[in-house]
Amino acid sequence: MGYSPRGLPVVIQEEQSRETSHSG
């Protein structure tokens, strides 16, 4: 749900991915 396979929070990465998707 926003956590890397290692168990670390990757909310920033998800946010960036969303921005990239919107861009275009």
* Residue 18 φ/ψ region, left for φ over 0, alpha for ψ in the -120 to 50 degree band, beta for the rest: alpha
Look at residue 20 in the predicted model and tell me its pLDDT.
64
pLDDT in tens, 1-24: 565 667 666 666 666 666 666 665
Give the 3-state DSSP-derived string for 1-24, with helices as H, strands as E and coil as C: CCECCCCCECHHHHHHHHHHHHCC
What is the reported pTM? 0.17
